[in-house]
Structure 1
Amino acid sequence: MMNDSKARYGSITRFFHWSMAILVGWQFLKFFDRINNGEHWVGETLVPWHISIGSLLLVLIVLRLGWAVKEKGNRPEHESIIGVLAKIGHGLLYAALVLMPVTGICYMVGNGYGLSAFNLEVIAKGEEVSWLINIGNLHSYIAWGLLFLVAGHIGMAFIHQFIIKDGTLKRMM
């Protein structure tokens, strides 16, 4: 089943969820780049893909948002306060997933580095643009926020699975 239903998320929604989960996890490896100035296997092998993966995530989140709007009425729902909190949490996750690549691009372009993704020049190198740098400087702060949101999201999935036992996790598998 490609489309969502009240009982379960469809294959397209699950594809977006799990592919983005893997890619966001990969992006979090950038935190390890700060250890010993990136001179270890994580910093040397995985982190150089940070900008390309971030660019891919921007495309995926735009597509995912479009899909979510299309499927809004079909999705499984939680009633009570849990449903309200889930909607707020998901809204914050979506906002952070949009803001991360946007602020990353602002940082790169604002500092005059341009933007290349998967060895393709997307935006040419240029002059520094101070207002873009200011926006780009939010990237790290939003990354920390996203890390906490993802941890909360995973934690709630386990709470639903093992404490509430309402089948929420199964709907996304």
Structure 2
Amino acid sequence: MIHDSRERYGALTKLLHWSIALLVFWQLLKFGDRIADGEHWVGQTLVPWHISIGSLMLLLILLRLAWAAGQRHHRPQPDPAQAMLVKAGHGALYLGLLLMPVTGVMVMLGGGYGVKPFGIEIFAKSEEIAWAKALGQLHSPIAWILTVLIVGHVGMALIHHFVKRDDTLKRML
């Protein structure tokens, strides 16, 4: 079943969730390269794909947001006592996932590098753009905030599964 229901998330929601989760994990491996000052295996193998994967993530998160908006009345509902926290947490995750590639594009444009994901030129190289460079400086802090949100998200899913023993995690598997 492709659509969400009150009991389970549908196939498209699951596909988008786990695809984005995998790509986020890939992107977060860049922290290892940063910690090792570019001398880490990640720097030589995965980082060259950082812009392309970030661009793909932007497309997927926009698709996911549109799909979620269309499915909002059909999705499993959180416990009413926690609904506000759940919605705030998911909202913060969506915002972080959206802002990461947008600020990444700003880094590239601000530095005058252009944007060429998967070899397709979206924005050509140009002079540095001061306002884009300023917005691009938010990329790294947002990455750290998003990492904390992801750890919290995974932690809550595991608490639901192992402590509360409800079907919250199973609905997305």
Q: TM-score, normalised by structure 2?
A: 0.98
Aligned equivalents of 1:156 and 1:82: distance in 2? 12
Confirm or deny: 8 A CA contact 2:114 2:125 kept in the other structure. yes
Q: What whole-Å deviation, never above 9, does each CA across 1:98-124 have from its counterpart, x for those lacking one?
A: 100000001100110000101111110
Q: What whole-Å deviation, never above 9, does each CA across 1:52-79 have from its counterpart, x for those lacking one?
A: 0000000000000000000000000112
Match of 2:92 in 1: 92
Aligned amino acid, residue 95 of structure 1: L
Aligned amino acid, residue 134 of structure 1: A
Aligned equivalents of 2:59 and 2:67: distance in 1? 12
Q: What whole-Å deviation, never above 9, does each CA across 1:4-63 have from its counterpart, x for those lacking one?
A: 000000000000000000000000011111133222321110111110000000000000
Q: Which runs of 5+ in 1 are unaligned?
A: none
Q: Which moved more, 1:79-88 or 1:106-115?
A: 79-88
Higher strand content, 1 or 2: 1
Aligned equivalents of 1:27 and 1:159: distance in 2? 25
Match of 1:134 in 2: 134
Higher helix content, 1 or 2: 1
Aligned amino acid, residue 17 of structure 1: H
Aligned equivalents of 2:151 and 2:79: distance in 1? 23
Q: Which moved more, 1:28-37 or 1:45-54?
A: 28-37
Aligned amino acid, residue 154 of structure 1: V
Q: Which moved more, 1:117-126 or 1:67-76?
A: 117-126
Match of 1:64 in 2: 64
SS in 2 for 1:172: coil
Aligned equivalents of 1:71 and 1:146: distance in 2? 24
What does residue range 26-105 of structure 1 map to in structure 2 within 5 Å? 26-105=26-105
Q: Which moved more, 1:36-45 or 1:103-112?
A: 36-45
Task: Tell me whether 1:20 sits opposite 2:20 in the alignment.
Answer: yes
Aligned equivalents of 1:124 and 1:9: distance in 2? 40
Runs of 4+ in 1 over 3 A off after TM superposition: none
Aligned amino acid, residue 94 of structure 1: Y
SS in 1 for 2:24: helix
Aligned equivalents of 1:89 and 1:131: distance in 2? 29
What does residue range 152-163 of structure 1 map to in structure 2 within 5 Å? 152-163=152-163
Aligned amino acid, residue 75 of structure 1: R
Task: Tell me whether 1:112 sits opposite 2:109 in the alignment.
Answer: no
Aligned equivalents of 2:21 and 2:12: distance in 1? 14
**Matched residue pairs, number?**
173
Q: Which runs of 5+ in 2 are unaligned?
A: none
